[in-house]
Chains A and B, each alone.
Chain A
């Protein structure tokens, strides 16, 4: 059970006002808010042990290195990775995807096939298109139905073949909230010898993924969606795959030995961590994960589903409101439009009333094209939101509707 009153006390930002109204923050799928416990960790880092890591013999450097490597272990444990060095610190999900896409440039040849899902974020489309341009590989798309669910039959029968080398799919769609059947996607891809990258950016706030149980090859996550800071994230990669991929960026930290004739690369994870990393970011990311685990992901999921069901019911009572993404399995994300009112107009008025939602195409233009709409209003809920806040949003929507119709 979640004690939301107590939890809200951990988030200082939830006390502020916007445009003279108490903030109602429903843009959690874009970024989560930061609890005091994580803010304290950030302050502590810069106040007490800020130093460059893996290099110095002095005490501060050792302390910072220990904390950073402990953070890696916390994250390893959270996702149940077999080894700590399978966790590569990145600047976020996009970085992780680009690292893998770049690595595969040297492993793919003309005519190889890559499969992506129809409901990807631009960050999980563009790097693969670039990869295809570089290698001559062909990009294929798993289509979806009007509920926002992938057509798995098409994936199994028409798309997968011995030419398939890579499959990319988000665990949860950012625009629709659909939870995709990633186990089925992974198992089928493995049968034809293809590697799979799962974009966990939208899943991580709601679902604790077990990378071994799911037999993931690659999983990418951003810290700022799980109560951590921006500019930080991880790439999980199976050791054998990470060893196969060439380094992404050259620099300090990622080398074993350098001469002008030849450089040998460092072992995992450092091979992929060139330069001074976001040390504080990594430590704070682990703190965010600790914070969420202390509440418990089962409790979070069940409370968020309660919010989702309540909000769905309340929203559907608004005449003319249509929800996009009605998959059976979805997280606490509702994308919608009211009649032909433009989402930007609704978002602008909601903002005036203190309600923060996302509007637009959510960096998923192919989805908007599929539904033939310019964009949607997206309300996304977190474990610190309340039903009362949903009531405020519904009242604000009624007001916006009255003004705009």
Chain B
């Protein structure tokens, strides 16, 4: 599936929730259930320190696709990471470079991506894009 298709799926899923409580409960579930990074990658090199929460992000190139793993010490942040990973992981670097994160607004989680939240998510998206650019250059 393309990034766009996955994002459309996520928007569809979220449209079934009636209120913010259900959306948050779903994100908390996502956050709790996913072991999304190996402990060996939770290093200082991979850490993005926000004032509020910490985020770790790690990238691997598997043939021509980028696979992201990430984690956070806050569960809601982790839930949003799970959604971002679902959209951006296992995709070609060029597709990641071309993609945007507007779907986060559509599913009503915009405030968590505000730069002023300082929860590490904005920097995480920047980091995902930087990885994509770096690997794209490498792939030629």
Contact = CB atoms under 8 A, between A and B. Distances in A.
A193 interface: no
A35 interface: no
Contacts of B53: 342, 344, 374
A347 B118 CA distance: 13
A361 B51 contact: yes
Contacts of B76: 344-345, 348-349
A77 interface: no
Interface string A343-376: 1110111011000000111000000000000110
Given A374-B53, A374-B54, A375-B52, A348 B28 contact: no
Residue among A341, A374, A404 with max Cβ neighbours from chain B (10 Å): A404
Contact of B74 (A345, A352, A361): A345
A14 to B, nearest CB: 22
Contact of A344 (B25, B77, B111): B77
A403 interface: yes
Interface residues of B, number: 18
A311 to B, nearest CB: 23
A342 B20 contact: no
A341 B118 CA distance: 18
Contacts of A374: 53-54, 73
Tell me which of B74, B75, B118 has the highest count of chain A C-beta atoms within 10 A of its own C-beta. B74
B19 to A, nearest CB: 9
Secondary structure at chain A's binding surface: helix, strand, loop or mixed?
A: helix
Contacts of B51: 360-361
Taking each of A345, A352, A403, A404, which has the highest tally of chain B beta carbons within 10 Å of its own beta carbon? A345
Contacts of A345: 28, 74-77
15 contacts: A342-B53, A342-B74, A343-B52, A344-B76, A345-B74, A345-B75, A347-B52, A348-B24, A351-B111, A359-B52, A360-B52, A360-B118, A375-B52, A403-B28, A404-B28
Interface of B: 20-21, 24-25, 28, 51-54, 73-77, 111-112, 118-119
Given A345-B77, A374-B73, 16 more contacts: A341-B75, A342-B73, A342-B77, A343-B52, A344-B52, A344-B53, A347-B52, A348-B112, A349-B76, A352-B24, A374-B53, A374-B54, A375-B52, A403-B25, A403-B28, A404-B28
